Structure 1
Amino acid sequence: MIPVRGHEGQKLAVLGLGRSGLATARSLVAGGAEPVCWDDNASARDKAEAEGFTIRDLTRPGAFDDIASLIVSPGIPHLYPEPNRVIRAAYEAGVPVDNDIGLFFRSLAVAEWDDFDTAPRVVAVTGSNGKSTTSALIHHILEQAGREAQLAGNIGRGVLDIDPPGDGGVVVLELSSYQTDLARALTPDVAVFTNLSPDHLDRHAGMGGYFAAKRRLFAEGGPDRAVIGVDEVEGLYLANQLSEGPGDDRVIRVSAARKLSGPGWDVFARKGFLAEWRKGKQVAAIDLRPMQGLPGAHNHQNACAAYAACRTLGLAPRVIETGLASYPGLPHRSQTIAEAHGVRYVNDSKATNVDSAAKALAAFDKIRWICGGLEKEGGLDGLRASLGSVVKAYVIGREAAGFALQLPEVETEVCTTMESAVASAMRDAQPGEVVLLAPAAASFDQYDNFEKRGEDFAARVRAGLQG
């Protein structure tokens, strides 16, 4: 673990006792601080108490009288739609509020690094869609190249739960807007912005607040290198803000929508080919089309971002190409479950919003589309341009009928349950078609999370093929 530094002998409150909260409490103890813990869930409190941590009801008056700082888990609102009552009490008591990401960046570097030949580096990835795949892809490429690498943050292990990196080690962090919004320290060596589309708008009071939370990763600490997806205006703006001029190669612009040109450092994908250009000259090209773990333009954007980040870490293009080719894909993200009788079955349960579902639909032809769930704000209008490849939609969720009514352009079948949707899609599918789960909705009306939904889809497919 990473011992938390700078709080020796102090009491710090920890709010939220899930994975990150417990890891934070352990790291505080390892660094000589005393955590006092609280969670509204009694079973979470019992688990922390069984581990030896002090439990204190932080909702009571005077709870912060001897507290130096409050460390908050990422799922707890700290501003919009309104602050959690414990966080508000900390504000009113003048107690600084932080999260495990802020503690991580302040605690990572140690004196032993002076004896390393190469100091460890941190690559932090944020954005609306693709940040998990991009993070995992960077980590995979580094490991395939024989580099020490750890994956943490919003994916993999909690940031304080990882091992201290060794000589030349790389820590790859996936960071959500919840994590970047509150962290009091954000100092990655390389920062990556994939893209921006509407999501979590209630938590950030609109798109402006959402983008501002992402932008903090680049504005607070000033990374040595910034990899910026410029296919949306927010990315263009961010790249412009960070660059000192057209030839400033501290900023690497990335696109999966068009060829980029100019005297700077660009990585883009067109018609399935990744190209790296620097100072007006092409440096490398990679054919992404045969790479089954990276289907579609959205994954080609992820590949470009991962490629650019790995280039900043000194990897050669052919070494990166080998890593890209061997990447197996992440569960629930354009994950091929099976291929049988000429039909491919793809699990993209992580496509929980309209933009990510549209990108999944654009990756395949002749789609039997399983969709539906807890609809997000804004409706399905953003999917209209992506429905041309859909042969038929099979709609799940408690409000399946209402969801189906918003898809007049395609044939729909109201299935409600995953079991029914998979059975109908498998019955109808013809050779050359893809049965795709890309819900364009949250899972909470029927499942605990998108992972459970994807697992159910995969289990139904496998059962159907065996039967």
Structure 2
Amino acid sequence: MIPVKGYEGQKVAVLGLGRSGLATAHALEEGGAEALCWDDSREARERAEGQALILHDLTRADAWQDVAALIVSPGIPHLYPEPNRIVAAAMEAGVPVDNDIGLFFRSFADGDWDSFDIMPKVVAVTGSNGKSTTSALIHHALEHAGRPAQLAGNIGRGVLDIDPAHDGEVVVLELSSYQTELARALTPDVAVFTNLSPDHLDRHGGIGGYFAAKRRLFAEGGPDRAVIGVDEAEGVYLAGQMAEGPADDRVIRISVDRKLTGPGWQVYARKGFLSEYRKGRQVGSIDLRRIKGLPGTHNHQNACAAYAACRTLGLAPKQIEAAFHAFKGLPHRSQLVGEQDGVAFVNDSKATNVDSARAALSAFRHIRWIAGGLGKEGGIESLSAKDLSGVTKAYLIGHSAREFALQLGDVPYEICETMAQAVARAAGEAQPGDTVLLAPAAASFDQYPDFEKRGEDFARQVASLMSGR
């Protein structure tokens, strides 16, 4: 645990008692503060009481007396589409609002570091798609090379729940826009921006607010190195803002759309080959086509970002390449869950929007596509004929099955309703060389509590099918 600094002997309110909220409360107590906890859920409050935490009703008019700060869990809005009523009351009372990420950055360093030979570092990864894979890949490469590392944030453990740093350790954080937009301290050593596509727009007041939340990690954090995807206009803009000139190698530009040139530091992937250029000379390359855990262009972008971050941390190209080959991928993200009779079964349940589904579709050929669920605005109408060219047939499930069917153009489809029926029908019609791909392009909440449970059901149905049950 990372004891929170700066609030010793003071009262600090904690709103939201999920995983990060409970960890925050305990870290505050560990640092000598008095954590005053609240959640609208009775079950969450009872869980906090069971952990000997103090409940404090933040809905009361006198709730803010002598409170030094309010720490808010990521899912609670503080501005758009409208502030949570408790957050609004805190701001009206002049109480500073922060989150666990802000507390982490103000508390991570401690006196033990004076005896370290190599200072610990923090790598923070943000962006619309690929954050989890990129973060996990950096962490995996570090551990594969024998470097001490921890993985936390939006993946793995809560940021305040990790262990105090060891000599030379690297902490890799996946940070969502919900986390970066509010943190009062953001000081990573290396910051990574993967890409940008519209998401969470109601929470951020539009695409500009969404980008602004991501940009804070760089503009306010002032990282020593910035790894920035430049395949969207926002990334080009951000890289331009961070760099002092074309040769400034504190900024590493990455791309999967084009070859990058110039006197600076670039990493790009074309036709399955990753290339690293520095000062106009190639200094590293990897054939990504042979790496099973990173299929498709979207994963090649993740590989470029992770490679660049690892290079800033001193790993050699051959070390990174060996780690990439040993990477098995993350659950529910282009995860190979089975192969039988020449048919591959791939779980990409994390593809909850049309952009991530498009990326998954581009990674395979001869696809038996399982899609559907609780569709988002526009459904899959933005998928072009080119995006769907690899789809042999679609097997549609959930609430949006019929809506998706009307948006498929000439692609053959079948309304299956349930995962069990979709897997059975896709597997029964698949030929050697086909891929049965779950990439729903929709949320899961019509049939499952989250995308993880949806992916687990897919894997379970595949395992049952392969075992003959």
The normalised TM-score by structure 2 is 0.99
Residue aligning to 2:46: 46
Does residue 159 of structure 1 match 2:138? Answer: no
Does residue 367 of structure 1 match 2:367? Answer: yes
Residue aligning to 2:263: 263
Could you tell me how far apart the structure 1 residues matched to 2:40 and 2:358 are?
37
Aligned-residue offset at 1:136: 0.1
Could you tell me how far apart the structure 1 residues matched to 2:429 and 2:205 are?
43
Aligned partner of 2:7: which letter? H
Q: Equivalent residues in 2 for 1:270-349 (5 A)?
A: 270-349=270-349
Residue aligning to 2:428: 427
- Give CA deviations for 1:17-60 in whole Å, capped at 9, x if unaligned: 01000000110011000001001111110010011111111111
Q: Equivalent residues in 2 for 1:189-268 (5 A)?
A: 189-268=189-268
Aligned-residue offset at 1:382: 2.7
CA contact (8 A) 1:370 1:395 kept: yes
Residue aligning to 1:174: 174
Residue aligning to 2:107: 107
SS in 2 for 1:331: coil
Could you tell me how far apart the structure 2 residues matched to 1:149 and 1:259 are?
32
Could you tell me how far apart the structure 1 residues matched to 2:136 and 2:32 are?
33
- Give CA deviations for 1:367-420 in whole Å, capped at 9, x if unaligned: 000011111124323322410100111111123112221212311111111111
Aligned partner of 1:160: which letter? L
Could you tell me how far apart the structure 1 residues matched to 2:209 and 2:308 are?
27
Could you tell me how far apart the structure 2 residues matched to 1:378 and 1:262 are?
39
- Give CA deviations for 1:191-248 in whole Å, capped at 9, x if unaligned: 0000001111111111111111000000112000000011111111110110111000
Aligned pair count reads 467
SS in 1 for 2:389: helix
Could you tell me how far apart the structure 2 residues matched to 1:406 and 1:393 are?
11
Aligned partner of 2:367: which letter? I
Structure 1: 5+ residue stretches without partners: none
Aligned partner of 1:223: which letter? P
Aligned partner of 1:209: which letter? G
Does residue 409 of structure 1 match 2:410? Answer: yes
Could you tell me how far apart the structure 1 residues matched to 2:32 and 2:228 are?
39
Residue aligning to 1:118: 118
CA contact (8 A) 2:296 2:360 kept: yes
Could you tell me how far apart the structure 2 residues matched to 1:42 and 1:70 are?
20
Could you tell me how far apart the structure 1 residues matched to 2:278 and 2:228 are?
15
Residue aligning to 1:392: 393
CA contact (8 A) 2:15 2:37 kept: yes
Structure 2: 5+ residue stretches without partners: none
CA contact (8 A) 2:149 2:172 kept: yes
Could you tell me how far apart the structure 1 residues matched to 2:331 and 2:191 are?
24
Aligned partner of 2:429: which letter? D
Residue aligning to 2:138: 138
- Give CA deviations for 1:67-90 in whole Å, capped at 9, x if unaligned: 110001101111111111110111
CA contact (8 A) 1:387 1:409 kept: no
CA contact (8 A) 2:338 2:346 kept: yes
Name whichever of 412-421 and 300-309 sits farther off.
Answer: 412-421
Could you tell me how far apart the structure 2 residues matched to 1:365 and 1:440 are?
18
Could you tell me how far apart the structure 2 residues matched to 1:382 and 1:238 are?
27
Residue aligning to 1:22: 22
The normalised TM-score by structure 1 is 0.99
Aligned-residue offset at 1:66: 1.8
Does residue 453 of structure 1 match 2:454? Answer: yes
Could you tell me how far apart the structure 2 residues matched to 1:54 and 1:284 are?
54
Residue aligning to 1:377: 377
Residue aligning to 1:94: 94
Could you tell me how far apart the structure 2 residues matched to 1:163 and 1:188 are?
17
SS in 1 for 2:443: coil
CA contact (8 A) 2:4 2:27 kept: yes
Could you tell me how far apart the structure 1 residues matched to 2:409 and 2:296 are?
25
Could you tell me how far apart the structure 2 residues matched to 1:341 and 1:207 are?
45
